[in-house]
Chains A and B, each alone.
Chain A
Amino acid sequence: EAAVTQSPRNKVAVTGGKVTLSCNQTNNHNNMYWYRQDTGHGLRLIHYSYGAGSTEKGDIPDGYKASRPSQENFSLILELATPSQTSVYFCASGTGGYEQYFGPGTRLTVL
């Protein structure tokens, strides 16, 4: 079975609305990450976590919050979604800061 899952897989939101993207991993990895992927930019780190209860800012955290309530779950929250946040979002898990294992991605469109 897939070790990193994301929900929803597709989401259409309105400007100013709240959006929550969820990620679940069964790898028992301590570290989890949220990235966004835009054409020409590769993967850019938004937030990451070392374990339950911890969240850290990545390179582009503005406009996003994160929550890690348990080892398995890591959420990305857009309190006031904007069209510039239209993107594909990937969650990943990893251990010891080495290779990461990615979820299938969530395509978010903000109208």
Chain B
Amino acid sequence: AQKVTQTQTSISVMEKTTVTMDCVYETQDSSYFLFWYKQTASGEIVFLIRQDSYKKENATVGHYSLNFQKPKSSIGLIITATQIEDSAVYFCAMREGGTGGYKVVFGSGTRLLVSP
């Protein structure tokens, strides 16, 4: 069964620095998709970035990028030049690529606090 683990419960950084959030996953599939979502203080959940397992290049969107280490089953989220508004809870998620369905499993989340 698929599983996603985020061991960092919370991280505190200073504004304008770079932060990396860790995520490891377990899957039997050779094809899968990895996602990061952000949940703001208001409770809103938004999609940030996706990595397809068959792609070797790390995905990048704005000041979010991924560190995909397939042999380690690891997908880290890197936020560069952090801003106060990046303070939120970040969830890692995975969907297996088989035809059995589109179930997505989420990690327990990492709370990021960005201070001025």
Contacts and interface: CB of A to CB of B under 8 A. Distances in A.
A100 interface: yes
Interface in B70-96: 91, 93, 95
User: In terms of DSSP, what is the predominant structure of the interface of chain B?
Assistant: strand
Contacts, number: 55
B11 interface: no
User: In terms of DSSP, what is the predominant structure of the interface of chain A?
Assistant: strand
Contacts of B46: 102
A99 interface: yes
B14 interface: no
Given A90-B45, A97-B95, A48 B108 contact: no
Interface residues of A, number: 27
Interface in A68-88: 88
Interface of B: 6, 33, 35, 37, 43-47, 50, 91, 93, 95, 101-109
30 contacts: A31-B102, A35-B106, A42-B91, A42-B107, A43-B45, A43-B91, A43-B93, A43-B106, A45-B103, A45-B105, A48-B101, A48-B103, A50-B101, A50-B102, A58-B103, A88-B43, A94-B102, A96-B102, A97-B33, A97-B95, A97-B104, A98-B95, A99-B47, A99-B50, A100-B47, A102-B37, A102-B45, A102-B46, A104-B44, A105-B43
